[in-house]
């Protein structure tokens, strides 16, 4: 049996496996070149106040400006980049772009003084010993008020390092940097653990928003999360808002902030600037 299946496995799967391995190796090499050539750029997705309709900030989303394949989203490269140890380097390029952009916006638009940009941090980046020092150095270099920077961490990043997480967060926050928990609600972490961390904002995951359309109990759960968060003075952002009904529902349960294709797509820096020019 082993021989027969071994033979067929060889014939059927070997070429495909070899191709996959080659593609993976090519991607790794391209990623190394891309980091060296600084091919990573940032798109900016608006985060809106869904009560007033005002723009409160942007989420920075990394893109790879590939020399032949066009603009690539994280799904095409970020996992592999993390696996081969390039995630940190890409993350620092993103943070530098963001600080540079924030400085330009604050210099150009008077109403951009309170604009915040949220940056995603990987679990590994979060636990780099020099994270705090490097962020402080960047903010100082570009003369950015610390409260204009928000760092987004996922539940899993926080759970993975639950011993150290609270201390790292407290240090960043004491400097004035804001902290958000991203993709809230998908990690099945203990709510009581998460909310006692020193944080400023939770972002309710898109999957919850989708379920709002389908299941009645979802509305009750989301409503409970929003109430709990607000009683703790946490900002709540609904992610992935695609329909007017979803925006209405989130407004109804008392959620003040939202992000999603209905409110604005992730934009290249120049288009985000035009949005700000239009009045914010």
182 scored as a contact of Mg ion (CB under 5 A): yes
* Closest CB to ligand C2E among residues 96, 174: 96
- For position 155 contacting Mg ion by CB under 5 A, the verdict is no
CB of 88 to ligand C2E, least distance (A): 9
Three-state SS annotation for the chain = CHHHHHHHHHHHHHHHHHHHHHHHHHHHHHHHHHHHHCCEEEEEEEEEECCCCCEEEEEEEEEEEECCCEEECHHHCHHHHHHCCCHHHHHHHHHHHHHHHHHHHHHHCHHHCCCEEEEECCHHHHCCCCHHHHHHHHHHHCCCCHHHEEEEEEHHHHHHCHHHHHHHHHHHHHHCCEEEEEEECCCCCCHHHHHCCCCCEEEECHHHHHHHHHCHHHHHHHHHHHHHHHHCCCEEEECCCCCHHHHHHHHHCCCCEECCCCCCCCEEHHHHHHHHHCCC
Among 45, 101, 116, 120, indicate the residue that binds Mg ion (CB under 5 A): 120
CB of 80 to ligand C2E, least distance (A): 13
Closer by beta carbon to Mg ion, 181 or else 253: 181
Q: Where on the chain is the footprint of ligand C2E (CB under 6 A)? A: 45, 61-62, 73-75, 78, 91, 94, 120-122, 152, 182-183, 206, 240-242, 259-261, 266
Q: Does 152 bind Mg ion (CB under 5 A)?
A: yes
Q: Least Å distance between CB 163 and Mg ion?
A: 24
Task: Find the shortest distance in angstroms from Cβ 100 to Mg ion.
Answer: 20
Which parts of this chain interact with Mg ion (CB under 5 A)? 120, 152, 182-183, 239
């Amino acid at each position: 049996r082993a021989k027969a299946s071994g033979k067929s496995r060889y014939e059927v799967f070997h070429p495909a496996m070899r191709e996959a391995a080659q593609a993976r190796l090519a991607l790794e090499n391209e990623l190394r070149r891309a980091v060296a050539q600084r091919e990573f750029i940032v798109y900016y997705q608006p985060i809106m106040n869904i009560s007033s309709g005002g723009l409160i900030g942007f989420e920075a989303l990394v893109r790879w400006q590939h020399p032949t394949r066009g603009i690539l989203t994280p799904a095409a490269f970020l996992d592999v980049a993390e696996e081969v140890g390039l995630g940190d380097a890409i993350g620092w390029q993103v943070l530098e772009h963001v600080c540079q952009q924030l400085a330009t916006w604050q210099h150009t638009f008077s109403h951009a003084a309170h604009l915040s940009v949220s940056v995603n941090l990987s679990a590994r980046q979060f636990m780099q010993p020099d994270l705090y020092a490097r962020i402080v150095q960047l903010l100082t270099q570009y003369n950015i008020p610390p409260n204009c920077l928000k760092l987004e961490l996922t539940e899993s990043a926080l759970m993975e390092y639950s011993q150290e997480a609270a201390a790292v967060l407290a240090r960043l926050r004491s400097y004035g940097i804001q902290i958000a928990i991203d993709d809230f609600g998908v990690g099945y972490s203990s709510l009581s653990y998460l909310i006692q961390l020193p944080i400023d904002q939770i972002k309710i995951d898109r999957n919850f928003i989708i379920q709002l359309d389908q299941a009645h109990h979802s509305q009750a759960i989301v409503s409970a999360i929003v109430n709990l968060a607000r009683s703790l003075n946490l900002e709540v952002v609904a992610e992935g808002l695609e329909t007017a009904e979803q925006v209405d529902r989130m407004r109804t349960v008392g959620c003040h902030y939202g992000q999603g294709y209905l409110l604005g797509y992730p934009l290249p820096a120049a288009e985000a600037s035009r949005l700000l020019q239009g009045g914010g």
